[in-house]
Structure 1
Amino acid sequence: MKTINLLAVLVGSLCIGACSNIDERTTASGSVDYLEHKTVPPLKVPADLTAPPTNNRYAIPSLGSNDAPQLVGKALSVASPRLVIPLVSGSHVEEGSKQAKVLFDQINDNEPLEKTIWDTVLAYLELNNIGVDSFDKENNELITDWVIDRQEVDNGWLDFSSDYIERARKFKLSLELAPHGRTAALHSSMIKYIDENREDLIDSINPIAKRTDEVNFINYIIAEYDFGIRLERSERIAKIREGFSSEMGFNPDGEAAFLVDAEYADAWPRLQLVLRKMGFDVVDLDQSSGLLFVKYNGPEESWFSGWFSKDELSLDEDDYRLIVQKVGDKTSITFKDIENEAFTAQQVTEIFPTFSEYMAANDLDI
């Protein structure tokens, strides 16, 4: 008897679940008979009587010019609105904005901000097999090809097979660049919509559903942007940890210097690791001007100190300064004394073996 009762409960639960779909879960439940109600005329008071006091506390406001009159009753969605999610470092949204828009700040000085954003957009489209209908680089506008969305439709709780319906959309992505060029706003808007019956319904689509699709699309791009930044950062860290080769040469001013086979942005953090290993303490630094003030304290003291001659530098324990400069695709590093006099070629030659070995050491441990 208990088995039969349990089976009846399970069957009932399946029936209830089968009768529920996504549309029902996103619309208000209960009666919508209020739609049939007429406006009650104001109370008529005889001329010889005093009208009771009234207020408009519960008055229903009239629709505005931008409101959708069809969003009433069952057509009104009660689901939480989709939000643009600014995952990327330096990204943000405008408070109170109803648009599917995200703002990016410049965080990579190696290339223009608009190039970084459009490269991310194109990478996302290619990864998801979405074509490009048109791309106007001068006006910073891109229109996608058809974005196909397949939704599974259950045939019924007793039928375990499923059918699919497809709908197609086209999006326009527009980029607004701030005059200073270090902030850009990426905006997503749906411009075409074809339902499962191959009917073009872009003019009659539910505005809430339209905005949901626009926000979802731009969130996918933001996620791709964030992934690209994290991947680039991890690859850059791995490259810096592997080390760089170096040689003796000259800086752009013709002074004796070390030439590191690395971009300036990669050589700068690596140099700080190398200096610490060589026995220098960085007192102050300014990456924008490529200037470091250091103090030489001698080689690190450890149980194996003195085993390797490279630990000893023919330098007085004193203050020094380093000038880091970009030289093509390489970076020059110039050692100077506190009076800003560059090391002689002999001094550079004497400390080069130690410098080059630490600069090239793989997985340098500080």
Structure 2
Amino acid sequence: MNRIPVVPAARTTALAVAVALAGCSSIGDMLSGDKVDYRSTKVREQPLDVPPDLSQLARDSRYQAQGGVVSAANSGLATSANGAAMAGAVAPAARGETRVERLGNERWLVVPMSPDQLWPQLKTFWQERGFVIESEDAQTGILETDWAENRAKLPHDFIRTTIGRVFGNLYDTGERDRFRMRVERTATGSEVYIAHRGLEEVYVGDRKDATEWRPRASDPQLEAEMLTRLMVKLGTPETQAREAVAAPAVAQSRARLVQGTPATVEVDESFDRAWRRVGLVLDRTGFSVEDRDRAAGLYFVRYIDPKEIGKEEPGFFSKLFGGAKDGPAGPQRYRVLVKAAGDKTTVTVQPASGSGSAGESGDRIAGILANELR
């Protein structure tokens, strides 16, 4: 006679509680209908604890995020605390005055605060969204997040909404996102640009038994979503922010490649608009803007072949054994010159020295810029 195994009551109770908690959390997620729920591929680094008999060294607090690390459990409390701490100097000027400007699929925020005032809130914003900040430079106004997974894209079926909530690592979207934020100083405050880059995991090989990460197209809708949430962070009511970001697009200007030595991109718009659009295109298409000089119309960039972008994603063992992050040849440096020409603007690619020709590589880059600026 076969005996039916008996599961201990304690184990049954623990499993039931785990499933119940997972189910409640999942139902909340489904009802909220959130479009983004990021989880970084890296773990945040915590500062070292200071022994009781020692005092903490003074730090330059100009660009420190207010309120420290924010967890999902106390994000509401942290946000309230941040707002109260900065209300006297920042909040009244920002509330209701942040606006969106748009050209085609490209959007950016115009904020009536200087980059010095704005930077701490921007840094906190990305941390609250679940990102680890990969690199930041307050002097140049550039911040880049680590690759992160948008868990909101996971299916919400019965298994996922119960056991999957407990064993979350068993599920993966096969996609990673990274955002690059750039802050420009203006006469009346700041302009904030957000550019998205994406990776997707694809099967390779004859037997399709291995995977690798490959670049996928940038997503203007994700950029728009982040701009909307940033507007809310800066004090704009959510309904007003979403209406502003979703406003009808302005007719997109035209750009063309003019063959010559060097090849030149001719853009049918003023210098100010061309400067903004060129900056967004550079952020999206494999360029890393190291510095810029708006008065001279220059972007100083590194170009990384898009085929190499996925190799910086965690999981490629070459990174663990000292392999170069940007490929064996390393990144190439160039200068991108944006120059007013009457009612049009020209864009040319120069070598890092600024003299001579960038050769075939420069012409190829000019072709990329022309295609993206059309």
TM over 0.5: no
Q: Which has the larger radius of gyration?
A: 1
- Superposition TM-score, scaled by structure 2 size: 0.27
- Superposition TM-score, scaled by structure 1 size: 0.27
